Amino acid sequence: MAACLEPKFTAADPSFPTFLDSEGHVICLTPDRYDDLSFVLGGAYVEMGADGEPMDDVWKGSASDFVRAEGYVAAKEWSKTEIETNSSRVFYSPAKSRRFAMKVLNPEKLSSSAENLLVLKEGKWARHALCPQADDKTKYNHEEQPEMTPDELSYLTYLNLYIAKENVSEENMAKTIMGKDKGTVCVWNAGSCLVHLLKEGQDIPERTMSALPQRISVAGATFISGLWVPADKREEFFVTISNEPTVAITGATLEKNSIFGSPVATMAAETVGRFLRESALKDHMMCSASMRVYPDSTSFDADLTKPWQEAGGRVAQFTGSNIQMLHGAAWDIEHGTSYIIEEDIGDFSNHTKEAALFAGLKHPTSAFILGNGGPTVNINLTRAMALCPAGHVFSLAGCCSAEGQFRGSSAAIGSIPMKKESQEDALLSLGKFAPHFFTWLPSVEELGKRLAERELTIFGPVKNGAEAGAGVTVWKLEVGKGNPTKITGFDKDTTTEEYEAYAAMVREHVNRVYINTSQVFGKRLDALAGRKNIDGPPGDSPTVLHLLSTWLEKSGGWDCKDVFCTPPAKVTEFPDYIKMKERLDNGDFSEYPVVAGDECAHSVAQLIMDWFAGMPDGLLGSVEQFPSTAASEEAAFGQLNELEEPLSNIVLWLADTLNHVVEGKADANADALAGLFGPMLAPTWADAAAAHRFFWHILVS
């Protein structure tokens, strides 16, 4: 193995490390990411002071969030003694077992519960470990490793390096896989070390390289190209995600043959991932916020997304910058596009990446898939049931434990009970990571209602010869109560035919949920019947809009308080809504016995919103560069007049309909309605604020 990081940026340089004023006293060890050694020893190392405390203020103030208390105390005491006795420089990296409960052993038999230290004494580097005693985990034994070799020293570097764009070829630069993503910047990482792309006109930092580093090994280059999401672009990035139909993934990462999961969970997940590429979800983007930890693990996220990517699907992997810095290669998944989201200084909660995962659930066709897991998966299950469209949350119980005390139990199937306060915190805590974006989170009252009504679809293993769908069950989350049903995962004797039968069952159920049989909603414009709308703007408009405008007027919708502003979850339960939608879905455009009243008016208003919100890619999705900034009424109408028929007429129909509501007794707010419908009209990749301004000018003219 050979490394070609420039020696001046590594411990191969005798003056290393020399910290700049803008840097903390932190370095990182970046061994090859395909080696178990990288999990146990790789990551960030903070320099310890003569008092035994970290010399970096962020680490010193936040250590309790990511260290094991007893191990941290032992590391500080040992560091203080070493510095006093030998005038050494000591660098400390906390045990991985605080974040990862896996009892992984690397080839040198170092446990993930070991506190790792690097000591620089008289120009020589050595590795040390403090390992908890077998009979008393609060006491630690000191183990000194051999002096670090020149090859190992080449893996010891600074956290942040830089490179100019002209020194990188296009093929080595990651490209976004999301619509009109404007806020991300190319970045490369090898574990904790990040190589940032210099901005145009930016001063050349001292840590700037002349060429992109490469490491040659049997696994290929170690530096991975990904995308950096700056903190000031996080809200914008979440909007970008929400405009994409996504399949969000959450599941366990375990040792092979762990009692917490099926011994063949990898095969089960990979088979389902392959079959789902042939389902109604095939154009969705799979999103993960989990970790692989090391190559020989069982990682539900990695196992499900791998065949999806191999078959041409998009895969996005979200990681938080602070956790990436802390644990390095543990967060790398070797396929998909990596998005490293800059976290707030001192935030080691590891939740920013989860917030990105749930941003995608705002899209009306997104789905959520769970596959085994513990507390984190339990939290994500609550979030998914509250935020994902009803009926779109699925659990692959085939990956659950097949034997031992945890047989048939998993957070992924609702086995772990949650208190009401915990459910509320799980949801509302997302808001702090992007407060302007997450304004659509339901209230506490609405959360309780959604959890009580919505069903988690669970796919249990079935043996050959079972009827189709025999393994499908449902569960509604209940406060303080876990799912009592034991659903045993696949055992080691499962056959290929049984994996494929299971995956086919999942695919067929998903297709039944997603394939749209409606003749009205979720259809492209050219698939709809049209008629001359004599009473409104000239031109053709879909029959359903003419019908709905008539129903809205007859129901008294122009004067109905909160029309278009009532929560959909409430309206979609009204008998009028259900009956009207069933008629329209079946292509029945005959008169409906409309009765003036709030429930009927809200039902019609919701159907109008459903029609626009369900339009694939937005009503104006085929229009390039839409909307423009639309800074004036003249600019908005100028763009409107450039639209082909019947697009402009439909926009005018909507404006005319909403104007009746604004001018009626409903006391509706034109700006609020423009903010609601503007983004519905625009393409999914468009700027929501610009779409809002465009439609506001049309509406108030």
Query: Which string of DSSP letters, residue by residue, matches 433-450?
Result: GSTTGGGGPPPHHHHHHH
Closest CA to 607 of 555, 664, 648, 561: 555
How far is the C-alpha of 36 from the C-alpha of 62, rounded, in Å? 27
Q: What is the pLDDT of residue 96?
A: 83
Structure-token match 């067929």, residue found: 508
Residue ranges of the chain with per-residue pLDDT less than 50: 1-3, 34, 36, 102, 104-108, 216-221, 465-469, 529-539
Q: In whole angstroms, what is the distance from residue 691 CA to residue 699 CA?
A: 12
Please state, in angstroms and rounded to a whole number, the distance separating the CA atoms of residues 560 and 557.
Answer: 5
- What pLDDT score was predicted for residue 284? 93
Query: For residue 665, how far is the Cα from the chain centroid?
Result: 43
Yes or no: say if 528 and 611 are a contact pair by the CB < 8 Å rule: no
Give SS3 for 522. coil
Question: How many helices (DSSP H) and strands (DSSP E) are in the chain?
Answer: 21, 26
- The closest alpha carbon to 295, from 217, 368, 378, 406, belongs to 217
Residue the block writes with tokens 């005693």: 133
Type of residue numbered 644: E
Residue 116 parent element (H or E): strand 115-121
Q: Which amino acid is at 63?
A: A
**What CA–CA distances, in Å, run from 365 to 33, 247, 607?**
36, 9, 17
- Element containing residue 601 per DSSP (H, E): helix 598-613
10 Å Cβ neighbour count for 296? Answer: 12
Tens digit of each residue's pLDDT (9 = 90 or more) over 432-452: 999 999 998 989 988 998 898
DSSP track, 62-107: HGGGTS-HHHHHHHHHHHHHHHHHH--EEEEE--GGGT-----B-T
Whole-Å CA distances, 615 to 362, 526, 698: 15, 11, 20
pTM for the whole structure: 0.77
* Residues listed for the chain: 701
Q: Residue 309, exposed/middle/buried by CB under 10 A (0-12, 13-18, 19+)?
A: middle
Which pairs with CB-CB distance under 8 Å and at least 24 residues apart come from 597-601?
Answer: 597/555, 597/556, 598/556, 598/560, 598/561, 599/574, 599/575, 600/551, 600/555, 600/556, 600/574, 600/576, 601/552, 601/555, 601/556, 601/557, 601/560, 601/563
Residue 57's identity, in one-letter code, is D
650: part of which helix (H) or strand (E)? helix 647-663
Rounded-to-integer distance, Cα 195 and Cα 193, Å? 7
- ∠ CA 213-214-215, nearest 5°, is 130
Peptide bond into 679 cis (omega under 30): no
Task: Answer whether 533's CB lies under 8 Å from 546's CB.
Answer: yes
The predicted pLDDT at position 143 comes to: 84
What is the DSSP code (8-state) at residue 491?
Answer: -
Interior angle at CA 651, CA 645 and CA 654, nearest 5: 135
Sign of CA dihedral 379, 383, 384, 386: positive
pLDDT of residue 470: 54
Q: pLDDT tens digits for 491-509?
A: 888 999 999 999 999 999 9
Phi-psi region of 7 (alpha: psi -120 to 50; beta: other; left: phi over 0): alpha
Strands 456-459 and 393-396: parallel
Do 396 and 281 meet the contact criterion of CB atoms below 8 Å apart? no
For 525-700, CATH number? 1.10.555.10
Provide the residue ranges of all domains of the chain, joining segments of one domain with +: 2-158, 240-314+346-514, 525-700
498 touches 464 (CB < 8 A): yes
